[in-house]
């Protein structure tokens, strides 16, 4: 298990004032403060862009009208590994800056190099990302070896939309606050044998990076569970509705029983009885919480030794 792709946004300043306020002196002061912070943010964007162009190995991966994504690569010519991707731009008048990292693909040396990159891009180095950043996207995963995905079924207890596309199960839409997926990792990486990945993806901008690391969120795995497909076939036989197998695989339990909450409850209860023994969401989340703490900077009292932390920045 581990942490896959993460995207941290550095939000642009917002003008905050009570709409009912009539204190002109206060309004003027807050306006000056907002203009100063916005100008500083724009200057920071220009500085980061200039530094990337002149001091790093980069490639422009995506370019839109008012935004560019720069993939930044290791200085090690042998590795030529991507360290991170930084997107800088403006959307409907709002400036934004996002940093995307894939910790599970980076070695300890790569992470130290990434730390050095942040030291030249940000005034307060990595600490600036940690303290000011908000969570835009976060992926927590569990890998199960020696079990073929064709034998498993990922069940959602909630009402998220279920989609089955090219062998990948999605519970939740692409930009939903929580999406859980199950796919064939061995096929994706062209590996031999069986390797199934179950991934919880968080999409939200209402939590600071530091709060996620230090305080966590609700366990993203707790509303899902895994069963063997033959268990679903058994339950479909009990209900004398063989079509349930295909319906639940394609639409999920909620979609397959829409309009019949009583049936949904009973089917979920029976499926729960057949949960695979290795599905332990509480233990999964405890392990991921420990991994999150590895992102805590040492100067804030991080309890883990940097030399021993695979994702410590």
Residue 137 and residue 212: Cα distance in Å, rounded? 12
**Spatial contact of 291 and 104, defined as CB atoms under 8 Å apart:** no
- 197-224: average pLDDT: 93
Q: CB-based contacts of 229: which residues, under 8 Å, 6+ apart?
A: 150, 151, 152, 153, 245, 249
Which one has a higher pLDDT value, 242 or 309? 242
Partners of 73 in beta bridges: 57, 82
pLDDT, mean of residues 82-92:
92
Evaluate if residue 49 carries a pLDDT over 50: yes
Q: Does residue 263 register a pLDDT over 70?
A: yes
Report the alpha-carbon distance of residue 114 to residue 188 in Å, rounded: 26
User: Which tokens sit at 182?
Assistant: 């199950």
Q: Average pLDDT, whole number, for the chain?
A: 88
How far is it, in rounded angstroms, from Cα 275 to Cα 272? 5
The first and second tokens of residue 245, run together, are 């197998």
Residue 309's pLDDT is 45
Say which range, 68-72, 153-157, 241-245, has the weakest mean pLDDT.
Answer: 241-245
Is 60 exceeded by the pLDDT of residue 26? yes
What local confidence, expressed as pLDDT, does residue 311 receive? 47
153-167 pLDDT per residue, tens: 999 999 898 888 888
Q: What is the pLDDT of residues 211-237, one digit of tens each?
A: 999 998 999 999 999 999 999 999 999
How far is residue 213's CA from residue 296's CA, in Å, rounded to a whole number?
7
* pLDDT tens digits, one per residue of 113-159: 999 999 999 988 999 999 999 999 999 999 999 989 999 999 999 98
Q: Using DSSP, state whether 294 is helix, strand or coil.
A: coil
Q: Which pair of structure tokens corresponds to residue 205?
A: 């901008």
The pLDDT assigned to 18 comes to 66
């Amino acid at each position: 298990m581990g942490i896959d792709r993460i995207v941290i946004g550095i939000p642009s300043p917002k003008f905050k004032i009570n709409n009912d306020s009539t204190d002109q002196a206060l309004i003027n002061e807050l306006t000056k403060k907002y203009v100063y912070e916005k100008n500083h943010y724009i200057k920071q964007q220009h500085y980061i862009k200039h530094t990337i162009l002149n001091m790093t190995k980069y490639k422009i991966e995506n370019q839109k009208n008012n935004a560019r994504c720069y993939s930044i690569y290791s200085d090690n010519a042998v590795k030529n590994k991507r360290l991170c991707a930084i997107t800088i731009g403006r959307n409907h008048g709002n400036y934004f800056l996002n940093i995307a990292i894939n910790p599970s693909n980076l070695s300890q040396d790569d992470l130290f190099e990434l730390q050095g990159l942040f030291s030249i891009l940000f005034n307060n180095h990595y600490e600036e990302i940690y303290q000011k950043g908000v969570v835009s996207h976060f992926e927590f995963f569990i890998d199960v070896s020696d079990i073929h995905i064709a034998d498993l079924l990922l069940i959602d207890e909630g009402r998220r939309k279920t989609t089955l596309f090219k062998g990948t199960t999605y519970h939740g839409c692409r930009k939903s606050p929580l999406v859980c997926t199950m796919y064939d990792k061995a096929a994706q990486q062209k590996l031999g044998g069986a390797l199934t990945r179950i991934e919880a993806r968080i999409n939200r901008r209402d939590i600071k990076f530091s709060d996620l690391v230090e305080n966590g969120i609700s366990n993203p795995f707790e509303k899902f569970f895994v069963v063997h497909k033959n268990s679903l076939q058994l339950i479909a036989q009990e209900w004398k509705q063989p079509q349930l197998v295909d319906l639940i695989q394609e639409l999920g339990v909620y979609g397959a029983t829409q309009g019949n909450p009583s049936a949904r409850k009973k089917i979920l209860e029976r499926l729960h009885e057949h949960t695979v023994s290795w599905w332990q969401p509480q233990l999964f989340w405890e392990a991921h919480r420990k991994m999150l703490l590895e992102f805590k900077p040492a100067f804030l009292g991080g309890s883990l030794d940097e030399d021993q932390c695979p994702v410590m920045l």
